[in-house]
Amino acid sequence: MNRKYFERTPPSTRMTPFGIFADQSGYEPQSIKRAVIPFECDTFEVRGVCGSVCYSGKTVRKGYDETSGDDVYIADFTPLSKEGRYYIQAGGRTSAVFGISPNVYKSVFDKVTKAYYFLRCGCGLDERYAGVWHHGKCHTETARLWEDRDTQLDVTGGWHDAGDYGRYVTAGACAAAHLLYAYKLFPKAFDEQETDIPHEGMPYILSEVKYELEWLMKMQDSEGGAYHKATTALHAPFVMPEDDREQVFVFPVSSMATADLAAVCALASGIYAEYDRDFADRLKQTAERAVRWMDGHTEFIGFTNPEGCNTGGYGERDDHSNRFWAYAEMYALTGLVLYHDKLVKSLEEQFPETAMGYGEVGGLGALSYLMCPHPQDDELADRFRTAFSRKAEKLKAASDSSGYGTAMAADDYNWGSNMGLMTKAMIFALGDVLLGDHSCREYALRHLHCLLGANPLGISYVTGEGEFRCNYPHYRPAFADGIEECVPGMVAGGPNRYLSDPFAKAVIPKDTPPMKCYADDTASYSLNEITIYWNSPAVFVLAYLVNSI
């Protein structure tokens, strides 16, 4: 990558000024409250922002934490429940300021949700809604098929996927599904949302997801298959979206994109029927056409970038979990036995039944079945409940042994590790609301605490949130707009022990512990990019927490 694009980026060695690590958003009054101290000390104090001591206690040594390389001491200040703003002091060091309040996560919830508005493609961002980050219309020209340049298509709209300006069906379907399930499970959180963006007589989040769904439906071909992606041939330079004027191409159909399109449209149809019947009908028709295509193409049709293209590939090894998810959502929508038979048949293949990332979506299919309003096979429903329960118990054990309270193994610190962090928190949220295991709430909170500052770098991985936060993501507008403060609410990819880009390899020593393999620098796409499906698990988890206020 040409370094000239990053001349104003600060040094990647920017270090936290804080030696004690706490959730920089804060803690709910009745929750367990712990901060991590990575040095030996016996006692600690919690002080109000005025400096007065509000709580004092003894630390407990947790011991050596392999993923961080720290010898960890825990400062537990759970008894402190008075609303206010505080910081922790011990051994001559301090933490960032944090809050204690019943609605302490409302602000960050609003930010990570509104982030999708800033990622809209095919339109300008109005200053009324975007503030200083407004910009002109982008990517409004007609696209061309990669394999037949004479064929033109209107695929305008949707969300920019990540730090680049590409749009990808599998990634978009996954992110939209996370948001739709968040709404379906935790509607109160969205009903009370005060995010200021254009909406259409429905809850804000549904208006935003509708913008993506309209684009997803445009990606269906005449036979029902879904084109895999719409991008330029090469990644754009670090310019504003309206200044990226290269030709957009539509790339060939893949079976996983088609299955994901069917699944998310079926899921959405049942939700939007209450607000927009015509839109819900179009979604159902799109899903039905995609399933007919799937039934006629039982072979796996994957995707790899053709020669001359370097944008995201989003390739997968198979489409087993994608097909299962599609049939599960179609059964949930229609109650037709034929879809139930197909989802059962799809379970003959092996895939993770609790996974909810873009590459493996079996957990979304299992969730669909467990929430289905139509008759269920008791044995199958028990199978899925047991899978989620066992997964939660396994993650609890890992969390309990971790110095920072997360269920992240060393190998989990890969590209987009914060997605893994938050999808594990999703498992705990489902363990609480679907399985009735209310102890899961504390484990979900632990993972959120890590995202928001209770980690060995003491950084909040959400732009615009926290006293010491990431601010220089690998995100083109954040560099090209010339504004020092980044658009708020973007979740950075996070630590990646594999150092998968040249910049990361140059600045981070190979023996760095996994949790510390991170740099807040625009040049590092494997550590600090943002994506729509890294934000969406965070929205889900925060909706779960805000919903219970």
What's phi and psi for 491, nearest 5 deg? -90, 120
What's CA 222's distance to the chain center, in Å? Answer: 31
Catalytic residue among 447, 474, 501, 521: 474
Structure tokens at 311: 């944008």
DSSP state of 304: -
Catalytic residue among 161, 412, 520, 521: 520
Which residues are within 8 A (CB) of 278 and not within 5 positions of it... i.e. 6 or more apart?
none
**Strand, helix or coil at 249?**
strand
**Strand, helix or coil at 167?**
strand
Inter-CA distances, 121 with 235, 291, 477, Å: 15, 27, 12
Q: Quickly list DSSP for 86-103.
A: EEEEETTEEPPPEEE-TT
Inter-CA distances, 160 with 118, 316, 475, 532, Å: 9, 21, 10, 8
158, 167 contact by CB (below 8 A): yes
Question: Of 320, 310, 305, 318, nearest to 228 (Cα)?
Answer: 305
Active site residue 529: yes
Return the H-helix or E-strand segment holding 74. strand 70-76
What's phi and psi for 44, nearest 5 deg? -150, 165
| Torsion from C-alpha of 271, 277, 279, 283, nearest 10 degrees | 60
* Distance from C-alpha of 410 to C-alpha of 400, rounded to nearest angstrom: 15
Active site residue 520: yes
Single-letter residue type at 234: L
Active site residue 126: no
**Strand, helix or coil at 279?**
helix
Question: Of 443, 446, 419, 418, nearest to 430 (Cα)?
Answer: 443
Single-letter residue type at 248: V
Q: Rg of the Cα trace of the chain?
A: 23
Catalytic residue among 164, 260, 319, 521: 164
Q: 434-437 — which CB contacts under 8 Å span 24+ positions?
A: 434/367, 434/370, 434/371, 434/385, 434/388, 435/385, 435/388, 435/389, 435/392, 437/389, 437/392
Return the H-helix or E-strand segment holding 72. strand 70-76
Q: Within a 10 A sphere around the Cβ of 224, how many other Cβ atoms? A: 22
Inter-CA distances, 251 with 141, 147, 185, 227, 254, Å: 16, 8, 34, 6, 9
155, 232 contact by CB (below 8 A): no
Active site residue 260: no
**Strand, helix or coil at 382?**
helix
* Distance from C-alpha of 118 to C-alpha of 98, rounded to nearest angstrom: 27
Q: Catalytic positions, please?
A: 164, 474, 520, 529
